[in-house]
Amino acid sequence: MKPELTKILIIDDEPAICDACYQILTEKNYSVEIASNGSEGLKKFEDFNPDVVFIDLKMPGISGIDVLKTIVEKKKNTIPIVITGYASIETAVESMKNGAFDFLPKPFTADELIVITARAVAKKRDLDVKEKVNIEKEMMRQNFISLVSHELRTPLVAVMQYLEVLYGGMAGQISEQQRQIIERMKIRLNELLDLINRWLKLARLEELNIKENFQEFSLEQLIDESVELIKPLAFEKRINIEKKSINEDYKVFGEKDLLKEVFVNLITNGVKYNQEKGSVYINCRKDGDYIAVDITDTGIGISDDDIKRLGEEFYRVKREGVVSGSGLGLAIVKKILDIHNGRLEIKSKLNEGSTFTVYLPLVACENRQGEKRSEK
C-alpha cells in the first residue's frame, strides 16, 4: 500500500503564481490543489484537508488575514504560510503573530518554495506525532482513572467494611490489643482512601462541566463559612484565626463549593503548619480587576526551592518533625483557580511564615469582558 501523499493547498488570485507552484510541487510528489480566492480556498480547505496551505495576503473578497485566522481557529494541525509582496513584509510579520508558520515574499524561486515547503511538512509531522502522543496519554489517563476508581477504590471500601465488622465484635469478641491494631489499620486505610479520592477529584476536574454551575455570590460569606469549618482544628492546635473586616461586599462568579475548597485547603494549611499558639490572618483587597485574598500564617515557612514546585502532583515539602500531606491539596487548588481564571501566588520565609494569595476576577470585570465578547 502506497503512503498517502502530502497535501498542499495554494490560495492566490494570480494564475501565474498558482500554475508555477502547482508545477514545482507536483514534480516533488506533493498532492496540490489550487484556489483563486479566499472563499474558494476555505471551501477547498474543508474538502481537501491539506497538510500545508499557502495564502496570498492580497486577494479580492475575503482577505488573506481572515483566511489565515479561520484556518488557525480550526486547529487541524495544518501549517499555514502567507505569500506576500515585498511591500507587505510588515503585514506578513503581523500574520505570523496570528498563527502563520512562515511567509514567502514575491517574487520567489522554485528552490525557495521547495525549501519552505519541506520545513512546513517537517513541522506538520512533528505536530502529528505530538498529537498522537497526547491522545495516547489521554487514553492511558482515562484507563488509569478507571483502574483507580473501580479496581482499587472498590475493594478498599470492602476491606474497611470488614474491619468495622471485626471492630464491632460482630465476628466474635476481640481483645484490647486487637482493637488497637484494627484502629490503626482503619486510620491508615482512611488515609489511603482519602488520597485516592483526592487524586480522582484532581483527575476529573477538567471533565466536569463545572462552569454550568457558576453563580454570583459574596466572597466574604464564603470565607466566613470556610473559617467556621476549620475552627475546631484551630482550637485543638491553639491557633488564632483573624479575618480583617471587609468594607465592600465583593462579588465573585464561580462554583461556590469548589472555591470554598480552595480557602478551606489554604487556611487549614496555615493552621497545620503553624508555630504553637501562632496565628492565621485573612485579608481581602481589590487588585485591579481582581479581588485578592491574602492568607498569612506565622508558621514554619517554605524555602524558595520548595515554592517553585508547590502545586505539582504528589510533591511534598519535607521538613524534620513536620507531618506532610499527600501533595495533592495545592494541585487541586491551582486547578480550581485555573478553571475560574484565577491564580495563586506564594511568598514565604523559613521559620517566619507564609502568605498564600488567591486572585479571582471581580464580577464587574467578568461582566465587562462578556459585554466585549457580545459586541464582537
Which tens digits make up the pLDDT trace of 256-268? 888 998 999 999 9
CATH number at residue 34: 3.40.50.2300
Which tens digits make up the pLDDT trace of 295-305? 999 988 887 77
Q: What is the pLDDT of residue 8?
A: 96
Which tens digits make up the pLDDT trace of 234-249? 999 899 999 887 777 8
What band does 106 get if pLDDT is binned at 50, 70 and 90?
Answer: confident
Same-domain check for residues 247 and 181: no
Q: What is the pLDDT of residue 344?
A: 93
Q: Cα-flanking dihedrals φ and ψ of residue 374, to 5°? A: -70, -35
- % of residues, the chain, pLDDT over 90: 41
CATH number at residue 338: 3.30.565.10
Any idea how long the chain is?
A: 376
CA 266, CA 246: separation in Å to the nearest integer?
Answer: 19
Q: What is the pLDDT of residue 4?
A: 81
Q: What is the pLDDT of residue 312?
A: 62
What band does 314 get if pLDDT is binned at 50, 70 and 90?
Answer: low
Q: What is the pLDDT of residue 70?
A: 93
Q: What is the pLDDT of residue 335?
A: 86
Same-domain check for residues 184 and 231: no
Final residue of a domain: which of 204, 227, 259? 204
Does residue 126 belong to any structural domain of this protein?
Answer: no
Q: What is the pLDDT of residue 339?
A: 87
Q: Mark out the alpha helices in 49-175 (DSSP H runs).
A: 64-74, 89-97, 110-146, 153-167
Same-domain check for residues 259 and 151: no
If you average pLDDT over residues 362-376, what whole number do you get?
A: 49
Q: What is the pLDDT of residue 370?
A: 44
Nearest alpha carbon to residue 272 among 317, 334, 315: 317
Same-domain check for residues 97 and 170: no
Same-domain check for residues 272 and 223: yes
* pLDDT at position 92 over 80: no
Same-domain check for residues 253 and 339: yes
Same-domain check for residues 265 and 230: yes
Least confident of 65-79, 98-112, 136-150, 240-254: 136-150
Same-domain check for residues 199 and 221: no
Q: What is the pLDDT of residue 143?
A: 72
If you average pLDDT over residues 162-190, what whole number do you get?
A: 88
Residue 168's SS3 state is coil
What grid cell was written down for 45? 480547505
DSSP conformation class of 152: I
Same-domain check for residues 288 and 185: no
Same-domain check for residues 348 and 219: yes
Does residue 272 belong to any structural domain of this protein?
Answer: yes
* pLDDT at position 156 over 90: no
Nearest alpha carbon to residue 25 among 11, 38, 44, 8: 8
* pLDDT at position 193 over 90: no
Q: What is the pLDDT of residue 86?
A: 61
What grid cell was written down for 291? 479581588
* pLDDT at position 327 over 80: no
Does residue 127 belong to any structural domain of this protein?
Answer: no
Same-domain check for residues 283 and 345: yes
* pLDDT at position 321 over 60: no
Other CB atoms within 10 Å distance of the CB of residue 106:
15
Does residue 261 belong to any structural domain of this protein?
Answer: yes
Final residue of a domain: which of 87, 108, 129? 108
Domain range enclosing 87: 7-108
Does residue 70 belong to any structural domain of this protein?
Answer: yes
Residues whose CB falls within 8 Å of the CB of residue 87, separated by 6 or more in sequence, listed in order: none
Same-domain check for residues 96 and 236: no
The total number of structural domains that make up the chain? 3
Least confident of 15-19, 106-110, 222-226, 321-325: 321-325
Does residue 175 belong to any structural domain of this protein?
Answer: yes
Helices (H), strands (E): how many in the chain?
A: 12, 12
Paired with 282 in beta bridges are 243, 295
What band does 84 get if pLDDT is binned at 50, 70 and 90?
Answer: confident
CA 297, CA 302: separation in Å to the nearest integer?
Answer: 11
Instruction: Output 196 or 233, whichever has higher pLDDT.
Output: 233
Instruction: Output 138 or 318, whichever has higher pLDDT.
Output: 138
Q: What is the pLDDT of residue 318?
A: 58
Does residue 118 belong to any structural domain of this protein?
Answer: no
Peptide bond into 155 cis (omega under 30): no
Q: Mark out the alpha helices in 147-255 (DSSP H runs).
A: 153-167, 176-204, 219-237
Does residue 124 belong to any structural domain of this protein?
Answer: no
CA 373, CA 2: separation in Å to the nearest integer?
Answer: 48
Instruction: Output 300 or 152, whichever has higher pLDDT.
Output: 300
DSSP β-ladder status, 343-349 and 353-361: antiparallel
* pLDDT at position 95 over 90: no
Final residue of a domain: which of 108, 128, 151? 108
